[in-house]
A and B are shown apart, each in its own frame.
Chain A
Amino acid sequence: MNSQIAPGETLLEVKNISLSFGGVKALQDISFDILKGEVRAIIGPNGAGKSSMLNVINGFYHPQQGEVWFDGKLRTQMKPHEVAKLGIARTFQNIALFKGMSTLDNLMTGRMIKMKTNLFWQALWKGPAEKEEQEHRERVEHIIEFLKIQSIRKTPVGRLPYGMQKRVELGRALAAESKLLLLDEPMAGMNLEEKEDMCRFVLDVNDEFGTTIALIEHDMGVVMDISDRVVVLDYGEKLADGTPDEVRKNQAVIDAYLGVSHES
């Protein structure tokens, strides 16, 4: 990761983002930043615009207003595969693995942007293509070891149980060695043990690889435990932003989650 940004400085900043689909305002004037090296959580009730926010960062949605600054540069309108090249990787709320491919191939695909050999050498295989393939295989094996998925290396991912698929998807995002990792509900639908494993992985990724992480999660226990700072969205608006403790005490957040009586 040859970024000029030092830990603790702003890696990504969104400024006054507004996004609407026809009459539906998905995001209204949202601004927040993600510091390098932190675990940043985005929380909010269903339909708050969390996934839309990630889609904006990814380049899937193009906001009507606002700016996205990444790595110290203002980002112009980009396609998702160009954003990937900048160093933003992501997992999905509903698993979006390549079901017909093995775990290994899924992870190797994650390294797509790092591979360069052209059609000619690939057709020949021997020579640069094979060398490149092996170099990347080695990196991928590190990730396989890190996530403890050695035993399912050659299994088509469509056959794996849900929790394992989530883990492979994390692996695929890790394989890109991105600067910023976006996790969309990495623990959704998991049991307690799987959640604990996943938390461990997220924290380890943050520690060992120094990857900045932004995650969306509904499990408040998890969010409050592992994140450094939390931003709260509701109905496309930003309710609160701060450390887990600050957010927990914020009246607007409590109202949004618990509901507020209109009589008083």
Chain B
Amino acid sequence: MFYRESGDFKTSYSGDQQIFPIAFDRWVVIAFCAFAFVVVPFLINDYWEKSVLVPVLVWSLAALGLNILTGYCGQVSLGTGGFMAVGAYASYKLTTSFPEMNMFIVILLSGGVTALVGIVFGLPSLRIKGFYLAVATLASQFFLVWLFNKVPWFYNYSASGQISAPERFVFGIAISGPNSPPWATYLFCLTFVVVFALIAKNLTRGRLGRSWMAIRDMDIAAEIIGVPPLKTKLSAFAVSSFYIGISGALFFMVYLGAAEPTEAFGIEKSFLVLFMIIIGGLGSIFGSFIGAAFMILMPVLFKNIMVGGLGWPTDLVAHLIFMLIGGLIMFFLIVEPHGLAQLWRVTKEKLRLWPFPH
């Protein structure tokens, strides 16, 4: 009864075109953001930061990026891990070469570098479609990881071949390195996620988003209408890689602190992000978030219940979690092949008329 669309009339196009046309949705999201920005920083501790909040934020950004490319523009990519590595190495090179550079600019520039790399690897998409494109992007995954292992310039000739994030400050507060306070790293990531989620929504509801979806749904008709295929696909690759690059940079600078390409940005990361958007919902901003939350938080939740609650051995639990997560993925895909976001949409449609179904 409290959640309804009926009676919520729109008298202007801007009213109809806003992000959350239902007033209730709008207030919940605003309240949620306010809570995340104002209240959470006071409650956060090291465990919540490292295991829950920062990983969810970082992977949400990666999922958003891949969702723009795969969910909105229909170009399947398995190169996410590689592009995250580009973002990470770009931020590393930038911040070690220019230690004075503001961290916001470092992260944004890392995204920019990744966007350029994404455009290059997006070029085959004009000729290759579907699974074949997925395989072509797989090449980018392996090539990029190989490159960062092979060329010492990327890891500043360090003996271990690893990169490690130096301590950097924003407004005098450390956001990377071992001494960064949890609330600072959390807020730093949250700012990026909220701003770029908003931008993603703006892009996808406007002209560019429609041209992406047109290419996804029917590329021939899109072309006839005046959507240039190459330019549109490359723009999707660029924007998507930008997001993934930022996510990779944050993942390395803020979350990992030290990284080695094969382990941190391997092929399983590409699959992880792909699973996130499939579970969450292709072509949905909200879906990217719930997909990322699902894939990151479910293992944490199970671990807490089984190890912390039931006292089972850790190695047994680790294997059980694999099976449970696999089972849950199948369950949700059978219940709703279009992802959790669609499940929510259906619920909303039901709620619209509840409790009077006619």
Contacts and interface: CB of A to CB of B under 8 A. Distances in A.
B225 A84 contact: yes
A96 B206 CA distance: 21
Nearest to A153: B16
A138 B14 CA distance: 11
A112 B211 contact: yes
A100 B283 contact: yes
B224 A84 contact: yes
Contacts of B45: none
Interface stretch (A124-132, A215-223, A252-260): A124-132
Contact of A122 (B202, B213, B229): B202
Nearest to A80: B223
A157 B283 CA distance: 16
Interface string A110-145: 101101010100111100011011100110000000
Interface stretch (B25-33, B185-193, B214-222): B214-222
Interface string A97-119: 11111000100111011010101
A138 B225 CA distance: 19
Chain A interface size range: 35 or more
A105 B283 CA distance: 14
B127 to A, nearest CB: 15
Contact of A125 (B202, B218, B220): B202
Nearest to A85: B226
Interface in A131-182: 132-134, 137-138, 172, 176
Contacts of B358: none
Contacts of A84: 223-226
Contact of A123 (B199, B213, B214, B217): B199
A92 interface: yes
Contact of A100 (B205, B216, B227): B216
Contact of B207 (A60, A96, A122): A122
A80 B224 contact: yes
Contacts of B222: 98, 109
A40 interface: no
A96 B203 contact: no
B235 interface: yes
Q: Bin chain B's interface residue count.
A: 20 to 34
Contacts of B239: 119
Contact of B206 (A81, A113, A125): A125
Interface in B170-215: 199, 202-203, 205-208, 210-211, 213-214
B13 interface: yes
Contact of A96 (B202, B220, B226): B220
Given A81-B229, A98-B217, A113-B226, A122 B208 contact: yes
A122 B200 CA distance: 10
Contacts, number: 106
A134 to B, nearest CB: 5
Nearest to A132: B207
Given A98-B217, A98-B218, A137-B13, A110 B206 contact: no
B22 to A, nearest CB: 13
B308 interface: no
User: Would you call the interface of chain A mostly helix, strand, loop, or mixed?
Assistant: helix
Contact of B202 (A92, A100, A108, A123): A123
Interface in A47-92: 58, 60, 79-81, 83-85, 89-90, 92
A112 B217 contact: no
B221 A97 contact: yes
Contacts of B226: 81, 84-85, 112-113, 176
A178 to B, nearest CB: 10
B8 to A, nearest CB: 13
B217 A100 contact: yes
Given A80-B223, A119-B235, A129 B228 contact: no
A215 B130 CA distance: 33
28 contacts: A79-B228, A80-B223, A81-B224, A83-B224, A85-B226, A89-B224, A96-B221, A98-B221, A99-B217, A100-B216, A100-B217, A101-B213, A109-B213, A112-B207, A112-B210, A112-B214, A112-B227, A113-B225, A117-B206, A119-B208, A122-B203, A122-B207, A129-B207, A130-B14, A130-B17, A132-B207, A134-B13, A138-B13
Given A99-B217, A112-B227, 7 more contacts: A81-B225, A84-B226, A90-B224, A119-B203, A119-B208, A125-B205, A132-B207
Interface of B: 13-14, 17, 199, 202-203, 205-208, 210-211, 213-214, 216-218, 220-229, 235, 239, 283
